[in-house]
Amino acid sequence: MSSSLVKMAILFVSFLIMFPRSNAQLSTTFYDCTCSNVSSVVRGVVERAAQNDVRIGAKLIRLHFHDCFVDGCDGSLLLDDADGIESEKGALPNAGSVDGFEVVDEIKTALENVCPGVVSCADILAISSQILVSLAGGPTWQVQLGRRDSRTANRAGVIAALPNAQETLEQITEKFNNVGLDSTDLVALSGAHTFGRARCATFSHRLYNFSGSGNPDPSLDTTYLETLRQTCPQGGSNDNTLNNLDRSSPDDFDNDYFTNLQNKQGLLQTDQELFSTSGANTVGIVNRFADSQSDFFDSFAQSMINMGNIRPLTGNNGEIRLDCKRVN
């Protein structure tokens, strides 16, 4: 071996020693030696929570989604206001929209009792999302683990990063692209709206004066429109009334959501635009998932893995919070 190659090899080894795991990748076996029962502990807590709150699956997967889109999957959304920290919880579109924090705290307490200082809050969101989707009849997948928790939040970045219910398909697609997700990820992850609820305030603009036209959204089925108008009368008096995101099987994880879109019965503007935007590449994906639940499940599982890989903190970056609401 030439002297130059020997020098390069020495430099490379030295770099690895100086910066161990600085580019560490997530792994499905990350806790095998440090907290081998992590999944069973999380499952025990969320199964009890699901008995008391049929919406807990939708709530925790929403927390995971909203966390990952703002500076990566780092648990920053879970932080409360504190010195030097302005919580993301109160920023639109999180305010009044995200919930389930108390269950995350219960999971963290249970894990600290058996594996103190080991499992991150960011990983709790990923693990609980998978378990709860499966409990609702959806797919299972091998969750990539090894995320660490941030020591700060980014309230100012929430609006720019997170999709909101009144944006166009082009705007939503751009936000997904900004975090490395494509149109298949967009449609598959939107399929999480196969369970859960939404407030009248998030879609009432479609019912009466869509885009200032004085008329309802033309992409909304007229019979469905009248049903929604009964629940959400004009004037905003029922803004906080909850409506099923999937009218046919609201608490099951299945592909009915996509059939609803084909029938012009998507509740949110951003849902219906996946199918009703002429020429959009999302239309074919909606049709594919409506035709095959197994295709949707496979794609959803992969898209959850893709989302969970958005800029995680690993190695020596961040910390393992002892309390998900505050930094150590």
Name 74's Cβ contacts closer than 8 Å, sequence gap at least 6: 67, 122, 147, 148, 149, 150, 311, 312, 313, 318
Please give the Cα distance from 111 to 109 (Å, whole number). Answer: 5
- For the annotated binding site for heme b, the residues are 193
3-state secondary structure of 258: helix
Looking at the chain, which runs of residues are DSSP E strands? 197-199, 242-244
* CA-to-CA separations, 270 to 166, 184, 205, 318, 327, in angstroms, rounded: 7, 15, 12, 34, 35
Contact 103, 56 (CB under 8 A): yes
Q: Residue 243 forms beta bridges with which residues?
A: 198
d(CA 319, CA 149): 5
List, as residue ranges, the binding site for substrate: 163
Distance CA 283, CA 278 (A): 8
Q: Residue 315: CB partners within 8 Å, gap ≥ 6? A: 20, 21, 22, 23, 24, 148
* Binding residue positions: 67, 70, 72, 74, 76, 88, 163, 193-194, 246, 254
Query: Given 66, 148, 155, 264, which residue is catalytic?
Result: 66
Task: Specify binding-site residues for Ca(2+).
Answer: 67, 70, 72, 74, 76, 88, 194, 246, 254
Distance CA 220, CA 222 (A): 6
Per the annotation, the verdict on 205 as an active-site residue is no
Q: What is the dihedral of CA 39, 29, 17, 10, to 10 degrees?
A: -170
> Could you give the 3-state DSSP secondary structure of residue 326?
strand
For the annotated catalytic residues, the residue numbers are 66
